[in-house]
Each structure stands twice: as C-alpha cells, then as structure tokens.
Amino acid sequence: MNSDTPFTQQVKELLKSISGTVGTSVVLQASDYFSQLQRMQQQIQTYKESIAENTAMLNQQTTEKNKSLYKRRLVAAETTLKRYNDEQRELNLVRHDHLVSVAREVLSLAEGVDFDDTVRKSSRLLGTIQLLSPTEGKQVAESNDRSKQLYKAVLCLRLFDELYANDMIDDPYILKALDNMAPSQYKSFINNEDDAYKEFAETVKIPLIMIAILQDIGNHHPIAKTILYGETLTANPYRVLDQENRKKLLQTNYTQTMKYISQGIGTGKYIGNSKVERDIFDKKEKQKVAFMQSVLKRWANSKDIIGNLLKVPQVYTSIILSTKDNFDYRLLPKVYQILKMNVERGHCREDVVDLLYKITGMFPIGYGVTYIPKDSSGQPLDRFEYAIVTRLYPEKLECPECRVATRSLTFISRGQDIRIEKNSNLYFPTTAKSLSTMSKERLDEILELLASNHQERKKLDVLPRCWHAKEFFSISKNQNLWNKISD
C-alpha cells in the first residue's frame, strides 16, 4: 500500500476536519447541533416559564416569609437558565474555534509570501483535492460532495484577490479593513510576516473561508435531510428534486444556515483582562458574523459583486466536483460554457465569471490531459502522452500549464512542466484528427502501454480526449507535481 506525501495527508485530514463522517468535523458538529436544537429550545422555554412563574408568584406575596421563599426560587431558576446558556455558549465556542482553526489552515495552505508562491500553493491545494477525488464509479457523488467546501473556499480567495486588483470591491466592511493597509501591503500577499496583512486576513479572508464552508450547512437540518433523503431516509440525496422540494430545500438551507452562523457558531471569546480590549474584540467579532450573513444574503442578488464572489466559485465547483448522475469527467473543460449560460440567464455577472476564467483557464487543476508530443524540430510524433494540469493563471486560457506524467509511453514521477498548445491537445477534435491516419494497431499498442502501467480502466477510448490520473496520483512519488524540476 502506497503512503502519501505529508502534504497530501494534510489535505486529507483537512477534508476530514470539514466534512468527515467520523470524529469531529464542521459537518458533524452542525448535524449534532441541528438534531438537538428542538430539545435545547424546549429546555430554555421551560426555564423561562419557571422564571416567569416565580416572578408572578413573588409579586403576589404579602408576607416577607413568602417573598423570601419565591425570591430564592426565582434566583435558582435564573441561575439554572444562566448555567444552561453558559453551557450552550461553550459548545458554540467549540464549534466556532474548530471552524476558525480550519479556515486558518486553508489560508496557510492557499497563500504564500508573494503572488507566484500564492499561485503555486493554491494550485497544489486545488489539484490535490481534484486528484484525490474519484472520476468514475459509485463513490463520485459522495466524495465530491465532501470536497466541495474546501475547493470552493480556495477559489473564493483567489477570486477575491482578482476583484481587489480590478478595483471591484464595493463592500463597506471590506473597504474599511483595506483602509488600514497600504495597497502595496495587500498586493504583496504577505500573510506570515506582515502584521497589517494578518489583521486583514483575520477580518476578511477568514470569515470568507468560513462562509464558503458553511454555505450549505443548513442542508444538515432535519427538515432538509427529510427532503434530501425522503421520509424513510433511504432516498438518494443526489437525485434531481422536483421544483417544489428544491424550492423548499433552498429556503430551509438559507434560513438554517443564517441561524447557525449566529446561534450555532456565533462569536469568538476574548482572552485577557482589559475591558477596553474586550469591547473592541467583541465589536469586531459581531461585525464578522454580520459580514458572513451579508455575503450569504447577497448570494441571491445576481448583480451584487460580493454575492458573485460566493456564487461563481460555487457554480464552478458544482460542475468540477459534480454530484449528478450524468457526471462526465471528459467534459469538465466545458465548465465555462455552463457559466456563460448562467450569465445569459441573468444568474451571475459576466465580469466576475471572466475573472475566474483568467484564474483557472479552460482546464481545471488536476485534469488529465492527453497530448501529441513534438520532436526537437517541432514536428508531431506518432504517439500521445499524458500530462496533468498543475498551475492556475495559464498564459493562454485554452492552453493548460501541465506537468508531464509519461515520457516515451512510460510513466515517470519527475516530468517537466510544459504548456500544451491547442494543436497538441487531444481534447480538441481538430487535434485528434491529426492522429486519424495512425493505424488502429499502433493506437492499441500505445494504449496498452499506458493503461497497463497504471491499471487505469478496463475500457478506454482508443484515442482518449483525456485520462484519469487518480490512480497515478495515489502513488506517493507521483504526488510531488508542484516541486521544482531541475532536469
């Protein structure tokens, strides 16, 4: 059994921290909260009724002895309610601190000391998520569902930077946070050494990651679960819902997510003895919660910049990590055709979609590209090879920046970084036609070499438009796709 590199293992653990089904995760904490919510509300109501009853009885008493009795009962009832509320507050803090810890780890893995380092780190994180995800079989929907939050959060971070660079940020909360920094401080992307940037990250980027993770947390409320899984909780949650149930699910998710942000997560707790510092801390924490709820609320406004900051990555992620039955890995490069259709229908902004396209290019990070190599004189060879998309911000949007995975029909772990032009990429039908004169025997020979090395699939297209790189990536020495190559 192949072990993983430390980074791959870290990403796996991070995914478990967000959406794991055992131990402690953001999703499990929310599910537990929602399942106990009715009982908690009833308990609080019982305590409040006891307080009201004892208050009423106290006001009716005429003797000091009886007044003293009901005062004690009232104090006891108030103390019990306060103790219960304090216990719930502590549970909120556990959920809050876990989510903040996850968000900080996401930021650390996705951002570096300058633009190039940030691009490399975000590319590695997104690519690892994609390459850990099955692209065929029965587990695709379930696995993709567990990976969406993290993937979307990283896209939101990079899209935010593009919105800022294009002077498109219009949110007062964010603008106020930016006012505390010199433009050069932000543009340097420093997050480990610069105090001003770290403060900005805590104020804006951490809450942005948190809301990207929490956006669909309301789907774990019992009402939403009944819609998704049916009354007997045995239905396929990834099936297509009818319009009525879909509308009800969206409303439930939105309402319960909004409540969970303020009531299930809430604010952080000040540690220290200064009242002035505590007041400042509490004010900032409340503003973060309000900002997160504002972003979620504005998601529904197709023209709103900050709403699109969440919506466009959400749509992109829902296609790249699809949970639909008709998921077809080969068609992932068509993601922007679907996003453009959303623009035409008025669901999102074209300028924001274009910025995300600038970031990702046509081919998603981690996608397996098949291409025709060329000899030293630039002439195409009579074979195809495998590569993996490894870098955001391709210079040419339809020409992915890749790491070579095979050389001379042999899998390698230290391939070169190349840009695959359209006239070499077999995804494009016009390129595939250039190999149409090759005999079927030669194509079968190539495919047998590539498939047998990697035990890819039993049935492959003779001339594949792409390849499934998950099993290749499962070997630890093949996971260093973002290391510098010195060959």
Is residue 305 located within the same domain as residue 210?
A: yes
Q: Is residue 293 in a domain?
A: yes
Give the per-residue pLDDT at 376. 86
Is residue 239 located within the same domain as residue 138?
A: yes
Q: What is the 3-state secondary structure (H, E, C) of the chain?
A: CCCCCHHHHHHHHHHHHHHCCCCCCHHHHHHHHHHHHHHHHHHHHHHHHHHHHHHHHHHHCCCHHHHHHHHHHHHHHHHHHHHHHHHHHHHHHHHHHHHHHHHHHHHHHHCCCCHHHHHHHHHHHHHHHHHHCCCCCCCHHHHHHHHHHHHHHHHHHHHHHHHHHCCCCCCHHHHHHHHCCCHHHHHCCCCCCCHHHHHHHHHHHHHHHHHHHHCCHHHHCHHHHHHHHCCCCCCCCCCCCCHHHHHHHHHHHHHHHHHHHHHHHCCCCCCCCCHHHHHHHHHHHHHHHHHHHHHHHHCCCCCCHHHHHHHHHHHHHHHHCCCCCCCCHHHHHHHHHHHHHHHHCCCCCHHHHHHHHHHHCCCCCCCEEEECCECCCCCECCCCEEEEECCCCCCECCECEEEECEECCEECCCCCEEECCCCCECCCHHHHHCCCCCCHHHHHHHHHHHHHHHCCCCCCCCCCCECCCHHHHCCHHHCCCCCCCCC
Is residue 318 located within the same domain as residue 377?
A: no
Is residue 302 located within the same domain as residue 399?
A: no
Is residue 226 located within the same domain as residue 301?
A: yes
For residue range 430-452, list pLDDT tens digits in order. 888 877 667 677 777 777 777 65
End-of-domain residue from the set 257, 290, 323: 323
Mean pLDDT of the chain: 91
End-of-domain residue from the set 323, 357, 387: 323
More confident residue, 430 or 91: 91
Q: Is residue 403 in a domain?
A: yes
Q: Is residue 57 in a domain?
A: no
Task: Tell me how many domains the chain contains.
Answer: 2
For residue range 348-364, list pLDDT tens digits in order. 999 999 999 999 999 99
Predicted model pTM: 0.92
Is residue 177 located within the same domain as residue 317?
A: yes
Q: Looking at the predicted structure, is the pLDDT value of residue 1 above 60? A: no
Is residue 217 located within the same domain as residue 280?
A: yes
Q: Is residue 268 in a domain?
A: yes
Q: Is residue 345 in a domain?
A: no
Which domain range does residue 443 map to? Answer: 368-478
Is residue 385 located within the same domain as residue 316?
A: no
Give the per-residue pLDDT at 190. 46
Q: Is residue 172 in a domain?
A: yes
Give the per-residue pLDDT at 179. 85
Q: Is residue 122 in a domain?
A: no
Is residue 189 located within the same domain as residue 295?
A: yes
Q: Looking at the predicted structure, is the pLDDT value of residue 456 above 90? A: no
Is residue 222 located within the same domain as residue 149?
A: yes
Is residue 300 located within the same domain as residue 441?
A: no
For residue range 170-204, list pLDDT tens digits in order. 999 999 998 877 655 555 544 456 778 888 999 99
End-of-domain residue from the set 304, 323, 342: 323
Give the per-residue pLDDT at 177. 92
Average pLDDT over residues 383-393: 95
